[in-house]
Amino acid sequence: PVTLDSLAERTGRYYGSAVDNSELDDTAYADLLGTEFGSTTPGNGMKWYATEPQRGVFDFTAGDEIVAYAQAHKLKVRGHTLVWHSQLPGWLENGTWSARELRAILKKHITAEVRHYKGKVFAWDVANEIMNEDGTYRENIFYKTLGPGYIADALRWAHAADPGVKLYLNDYNVEGIGAKSDAYYTLIKQLKADGVPIDGFGMQAHLALQYGFPNDMKGNIQRFADLGLDVAITELDIRMILPSDAAKLAQQADWYGQVTKACLAVRRCVGITLWGYSDRHSWIPPVFEGQGAALPWDENLRRKPAYDAIAHAL
C-alpha cells in the first residue's frame, strides 16, 4: 500500500508520528500509526519525569511500551528527550543542587537512559529547547547551575553511552532564519570545532497559520546540512484558530506541502515526524486555547487536504 512512509522511503527518508502511551489503547489509531508510518517518537514516555521519578530510581516502562509497539510494527524510534527544562521530576526541580551534584545527576541520568535504549532508538534529542527567542541561552536549571558547558557535556555523555546513536539538539521556532536559529548555527559550529559529538539538528516545526510561514526554511535547513549535520523535522503540526474552514484547511495543506518540499530539497534532511497524526489526539487544543485542527488526519481518522499535499510533495 502507498503510505507516507513508503513515499518518503523512495528518497531514503522516513515519515513518522509521535505517540503517547495512552493512545496505544485506541486500536484504530494505533493500527493506522503502525501501517502509515516508518518512525515514531514517544510523546512523553522518555522524558525525565517518566524515566527517573525518584533520584536514582529509573523506570523505563512507558518508553519500553512504545519501543515494543514500534518493533512489532517495524517502526524506527526517535528518543525524546534527555535534557529539557520542562516535565522534570519534582525531586530535581524542587531540590537545591551544587554544580558538583547536578553534574553527577545529569551524567547519571543520560548514561542510564541512553544505555537502556542502546540499539532501540536511532537518534536522541539530547538537549531540547535550550535557546530563547533572542538567541541567548535559556536560563534553565542546568544553565543556571552549570553554565553553557552542560550542553557539550550532555552530548559527550550520550555518545559515551551509545557511540552509534545520532545525537541532536532540538527546538521550536528555528525552522526559519532568525536570531534563534542563528544561535544554534553558531553553537553547533563551535561544538564541531571543539570535537563535541553532534550529528543532527531537529526543527520541531510547531507552526501556526496566524503567524506566517517560516522565513526561508529550505535555505535554513541547507545551512545546517552544510555544517555536516543531519536535519530532521521532529514535531510537525500546523495549527489554526478554530473553527476550521475550507480556506484554512487549504492553506494548511499548502504549508504541509511546503515543509515537505523544503526537507526534500536538502539531501541531509533525513525525515519528518508529525507530533501525533490526527486531530483526535493532539497536544494543541489543551495548550493553545481556541486553536487546533493541526494534523493531516481529522478526529475520525479521515484524511484532510493536508494529507494529499504531503503525499503529492513526497
Task: Give the binding site for ligand XIL (CB under 6 A).
Answer: 20, 43-44, 128, 204, 235, 283
Minimum distance, C-beta of residue 204 to ligand XIL, in the bound complex (Å): 6
Minimum distance, C-beta of residue 60 to ligand XIL, in the bound complex (Å): 17
Minimum distance, C-beta of residue 147 to ligand XIL, in the bound complex (Å): 23
**What values do phi and psi take at 230, rounded to 5?**
-80, 150
Judge whether 131 and 89 are in contact, CB under 8 Å: no
Secondary structure tally for the chain: helices H, strands E? 13, 10
Choice between 83 and 209, CB closer to ligand XIL: 83
The partner residues of 240 in beta bridges, in order of sequence, read 292
Q: Which residue is nearest to ligand XIL (CB)?
A: 283
Choice between 39 and 44, CB closer to ligand XIL: 44
The catalytic position among 9, 23, 235, 299 is 235
Choice between 43 and 197, CB closer to ligand XIL: 43
Helical H segments across 13-89, by residue range: 27-36, 48-51, 61-72
| Sign (positive or negative) of CA dihedral 141, 146, 151, 153 | negative
What does the H/E/C string look like for 210-233? Answer: HHCCCCCHHHHHHHHHCCCCEEEE
Cell numbers at 203, concatenated: 526543527
Minimum distance, C-beta of residue 88 to ligand XIL, in the bound complex (Å): 12
Choice between 128 and 244, CB closer to ligand XIL: 128
CA dihedral 174, 177, 182, 188 (to 10 degrees): 60
Catalytic residue list contains 93:
no
Residues with a catalytic annotation lie at 235
